[in-house]
Structure 1
Amino acid sequence: MSALSTLLNTYRAASVSEREKGTYFEELICTYLRNEAAYRDLYEQVWSYSCWAKEQGFDGRDTGIDLVAKTKGTGDYHAIQCKLYAENYRVQKKDIDSFFTASGKKPFTHRIIVATTNEWSEHANDALLDQHQTINKIDLQALEDSQIDWSKYQPNQAQVLKEKKQLRDHQRTALNATEAGLKTAERGKLIMACGTGKTFTSLKIAEQLAGRSQRILFLVPSLSLLSQTLTEWTQESAIPLHSFAVCSDSDVGKKRKADDDVVQTFTHELRYPATTEPQRLASEMSKRYDDQHMSVVFSTYHSIDVISRAQKEYGLEQFDLVICDEAHRTTGATFGDDDESNFVKIHDSNYILSARRLYMTATPRIYGDNAKVKAETDNVTLCSMDNEALYGKELYTITFSDAVKRGLLVDYKVLVLAVEETHVNRRLQELFKDSDNQLKVDDAAKIIGCWKALAKQDLTDNLVSDNEPMKRAVAFCQVIEPNHNKKGTHKVSSKNIARMFQSVVESYQASEEIEEASRLICEAQHVDGSMNASEKETKLTWLKADAPEHTCRILSNVRCLSEGVDVPALDAVLFLTPRNSQVDVVQSVGRVMRNAPGKKRGYVVLPVVIPAGVEAHEALNDNQTYKVVWQVLQALRSHDDRFDAMINKLDLIGHDPRKMEVIAITDKVEKKQKRSGGARNKDVGKGEYGIGSKNKYDADGQMTQQDDLTYEVGELERAIYAKVVQKCGNRHHWEDWANDIAKIANTHIDRIQVILENPANTTEKSAFDAFAAELRDDLNDSISNGEIIEMLAQHLITKPVFDSLFEDYSFAQHNPMSQAMQSVLDALQEHHLSKEADTLGRFYESVRQRAEGIENAAGKQKIVVELYDKFFRNAFPRMTERLGIVYTPVEVVDFIIHSVNDVLKNEFGQSLGSDGVHIIDPFTGTGTFITRLLQSGLMTPEQIKKKYKGEIHANELVLLAYYIAAINIEAVYHSLVGGEYVPFEGICLTDTFQMYEKDDLVNELLVQNSARRTKQKKLDIRVIIGNPPYWGCKPEPPKFPSSQLQFGHERV
Structure 2
Amino acid sequence: MLQTREPYRQRDLRQVDDGYVVTVPDGNPEGVLREAVGTLEDRSREQTDGVWLEHLTADVAPLIRDWNLDGCWRWQDWPERNHVMPEGTPATDVGIDLVARRRDDGQWVAIQAKARQLDDRGAGAPINSPEMNKFLGAASDRGIWAERWVAVNGDVRLAGHSPGKVAMSGAPVKVVNVALAVEIQYNALAPLTELEPCPHCEGEAAPGTDPTNEQAPPVQLRSCMQREAIAAAVGRLRENEQADEPGIPRGEARGRIVLPCGTGKTRIALRIVEELTYAGEFSVVLCPSIALVAQIRREFLENAEMPLRVMAVCSDQGVAADEEKVANDDDATLDRGMETVDVIKGCPVTTDSTEIAEWIEGRRDGRASDAISVIFGTYQSAGRISDGIAAAGAADGFKALVCDEAHRTAGVRRRRRSTAADERLRDFTLCHDREAFPATYRVYQTATPRIYGDAAMAEAAGRSKKADWVVRHMDDQSVFGVELYRRSYADAVRNKWLSDYRIIAMGVGDQEALDIANLLVLEADQKAAEEAAEVSSRSGSGRAARRAKRGERLPTTGDYLKGMAFALAIGGGAMTNDGRPVPIKSCIGFLNTIARSRAMTDVLQSAAVRQWITDLRGGAWLQA
Q: Could you say whether these structures have the same fold, taking a TM-score greater than 0.5 normalized by the shorter chain as the test? A: yes
Question: Deviation string for 1:583-615 (max 9, x for gaps)?
Answer: xxxxxxxxxxxxxxxxxxxxxxxxxxxxxxxxx
Aligned equivalent of 1:397: 486
Question: Deviation string for 1:108-132 (max 9, x for gaps)?
Answer: 3332222234322252555445665
Q: Counterparts in 2 of 1:398-437, with a 5 A limit?
A: 398-419=487-508, 421=509, 424-426=510-512, 429=515, 432=518, 435-437=522-524
Aligned equivalent of 2:130: 94
Q: Distance in 1 between matches of 2:426 and 2:99?
A: 40
Deviation at 1:402, TM superposition (A): 0.9
Question: Deviation string for 1:923-966 (max 9, x for gaps)?
Answer: xxxxxxxxxxxxxxxxxxxxxxxxxxxxxxxxxxxxxxxxxxxx
Aligned equivalent of 1:1015: none
Q: Counterparts in 2 of 1:727-742, with a 5 A limit?
A: none
Q: Counterparts in 2 of 1:620-659, with a 5 A limit?
A: none
Deviation at 1:366, TM superposition (A): 1.6
Question: Deviation string for 1:787-825 (max 9, x for gaps)?
Answer: xxxxxxxxxxxxxxxxxxxxxxxxxxxxxxxxxxxxxxx
- Distance 1:442-1:260 versus aligned 2 partners, 3 A rule: closer
Q: Distance in 2 between matches of 1:292 and 1:367?
A: 45
Q: Counterparts in 2 of 1:221-232, with a 5 A limit?
A: 221-232=288-299
Deviation at 1:275, TM superposition (A): 2.4
Kept in 2, the 8 Å contact 1:224–1:270? The answer is no
- Distance 1:47-1:315 versus aligned 2 partners, 3 A rule: farther
- Distance 1:431-1:74 versus aligned 2 partners, 3 A rule: closer
- Distance 1:137-1:513 versus aligned 2 partners, 3 A rule: closer
Q: Which amino acid aligns with 2:406?
A: A
Deviation at 1:62, TM superposition (A): 1.6
Q: Which amino acid aligns with 2:562?
A: K
Deviation at 1:387, TM superposition (A): 1.4
The alignment partner of 2:589 has SS state of strand
One of 588, 591, 596 as aligned partner of 1:473: 588
Q: Which moved more, 1:493-502 or 1:363-372?
A: 493-502
- Distance 1:475-1:115 versus aligned 2 partners, 3 A rule: same
- Distance 1:392-1:85 versus aligned 2 partners, 3 A rule: same
Q: Counterparts in 2 of 1:1014-1025, with a 5 A limit?
A: none
Q: Counterparts in 2 of 1:858-897, with a 5 A limit?
A: none
Kept in 2, the 8 Å contact 1:215–1:295? The answer is yes
- Distance 1:219-1:268 versus aligned 2 partners, 3 A rule: same
The alignment partner of 1:328 has SS state of helix
Deviation at 1:202, TM superposition (A): 1.4
One of 384, 388, 392 as aligned partner of 1:314: 392
- Distance 1:508-1:342 versus aligned 2 partners, 3 A rule: same
Question: Deviation string for 1:727-781 (max 9, x for gaps)?
Answer: xxxxxxxxxxxxxxxxxxxxxxxxxxxxxxxxxxxxxxxxxxxxxxxxxxxxxxx
State yes or no: 1:501 paired with 2:575. Answer: no
TM superposition score normalised by structure 1: 0.43
Aligned equivalent of 2:475: 386
Aligned equivalent of 2:622: 520
Identity among equivalent pairs (%): 24
The alignment partner of 1:351 has SS state of coil
State yes or no: 1:64 paired with 2:100. Answer: no
Q: Distance in 2 between matches of 1:125 and 1:170?
A: 45
Aligned equivalent of 1:341: 426
| Matched length | 486
The alignment partner of 1:474 has SS state of coil
Q: Which amino acid aligns with 2:92?
A: R
Aligned equivalent of 2:190: 162
Kept in 1, the 8 Å contact 2:575–2:582? The answer is no
TM superposition score normalised by structure 2: 0.70
Aligned equivalent of 1:205: 272
State yes or no: 1:214 paired with 2:281. Answer: yes
Deviation at 1:288, TM superposition (A): 5.0
Deviation at 1:358, TM superposition (A): 0.2
- Distance 1:175-1:512 versus aligned 2 partners, 3 A rule: same
Deviation at 1:171, TM superposition (A): 0.9
- Distance 1:284-1:95 versus aligned 2 partners, 3 A rule: farther
Larger radius of gyration: 1
- Distance 1:462-1:325 versus aligned 2 partners, 3 A rule: farther
Kept in 1, the 8 Å contact 2:282–2:363? The answer is no
Kept in 1, the 8 Å contact 2:402–2:443? The answer is yes
- Distance 1:280-1:416 versus aligned 2 partners, 3 A rule: same
Aligned equivalent of 2:375: 297
State yes or no: 1:457 paired with 2:574. Answer: yes
Aligned equivalent of 2:340: 266
Q: Distance in 2 between matches of 1:356 and 1:322?
A: 6
Aligned equivalent of 2:542: none
RMSD (Å) for aligned C-alpha atoms: 3.3
Q: Distance in 2 between matches of 1:494 and 1:128?
A: 29
The alignment partner of 1:298 has SS state of strand
User: Greater relative contact order: 1 or 2 (C-alpha under 8 angstroms, separation 6 or more)?
Assistant: 2
Deviation at 1:78, TM superposition (A): 2.5
Aligned equivalent of 1:361: 446
Q: Distance in 2 between matches of 1:203 and 1:170?
A: 15
Deviation at 1:147, TM superposition (A): 2.4
Q: Distance in 1 between matches of 2:169 and 2:292?
A: 24
Question: Deviation string for 1:283-338 (max 9, x for gaps)?
Answer: 23433544432211111111212211111123345420011111111123321221
Q: Which amino acid aligns with 2:443?
A: L
Q: Distance in 2 between matches of 1:270 and 1:313?
A: 25
- Distance 1:165-1:192 versus aligned 2 partners, 3 A rule: farther
Q: Which amino acid aligns with 1:324?
A: C
Q: Counterparts in 2 of 1:118-197, with a 5 A limit?
A: 118-123=156-161, 127-129=165-167, 133-140=171-178, 142-148=180-186, 161-163=189-191, 168-185=223-240, 186-197=253-264
Q: Distance in 2 between matches of 1:414 and 1:502?
A: 24
The alignment partner of 1:374 has SS state of helix
Deviation at 1:276, TM superposition (A): 2.5
The alignment partner of 1:235 has SS state of helix
State yes or no: 1:108 paired with 2:168. Answer: no
Deviation at 1:190, TM superposition (A): 0.4
Q: Distance in 2 between matches of 1:447 and 1:392?
A: 44
One of 50, 53, 73 as aligned partner of 1:47: 73
Question: Deviation string for 1:636-688 (max 9, x for gaps)?
Answer: xxxxxxxxxxxxxxxxxxxxxxxxxxxxxxxxxxxxxxxxxxxxxxxxxxxxx
Kept in 2, the 8 Å contact 1:246–1:297? The answer is yes
Question: Deviation string for 1:484-514 (max 9, x for gaps)?
Answer: xxxxxxxxx5455333334454232243352
Q: Counterparts in 2 of 1:398-797, with a 5 A limit?
A: 398-419=487-508, 421=509, 424-426=510-512, 429=515, 432=518, 435-437=522-524, 442-454=558-570, 455=572, 457-460=574-577, 467-476=582-591, 494-503=597-606, 505-512=609-616, 514-516=618-620, 519-521=621-623, 551=624
Deviation at 1:234, TM superposition (A): 1.0
Q: Distance in 2 between matches of 1:346 and 1:509?
A: 52
Q: Distance in 1 between matches of 2:263 and 2:409?
A: 21
The runs of 5 or more residues in structure 1 that have no matched partner are 150-159, 482-492, 522-550, 552-1052
Q: Which amino acid aligns with 1:514?
A: G
Q: Distance in 2 between matches of 1:480 and 1:28?
A: 34
Q: Which amino acid aligns with 1:97?
A: N
Deviation at 1:165, TM superposition (A): 8.2
- Distance 1:122-1:370 versus aligned 2 partners, 3 A rule: farther
Deviation at 1:29, TM superposition (A): 1.4
Deviation at 1:94, TM superposition (A): 2.1
The runs of 5 or more residues in structure 2 that have no matched partner are 1-33, 118-122, 195-221, 241-252, 329-335, 418-422, 526-554
Q: Distance in 1 between matches of 2:308 and 2:408?
A: 27
Kept in 1, the 8 Å contact 2:104–2:309? The answer is no
Deviation at 1:371, TM superposition (A): 3.0
Deviation at 1:75, TM superposition (A): 3.9
- Distance 1:234-1:441 versus aligned 2 partners, 3 A rule: closer
Q: Which amino acid aligns with 1:26?
A: E
Kept in 2, the 8 Å contact 1:73–1:288? The answer is no
- Distance 1:211-1:472 versus aligned 2 partners, 3 A rule: farther
State yes or no: 1:276 paired with 2:276. Answer: no
State yes or no: 1:370 paired with 2:487. Answer: no
State yes or no: 1:323 paired with 2:402. Answer: yes
Q: Which amino acid aligns with 2:350?
A: T
- Distance 1:328-1:118 versus aligned 2 partners, 3 A rule: farther
Deviation at 1:79, TM superposition (A): 1.9
- Distance 1:427-1:132 versus aligned 2 partners, 3 A rule: closer
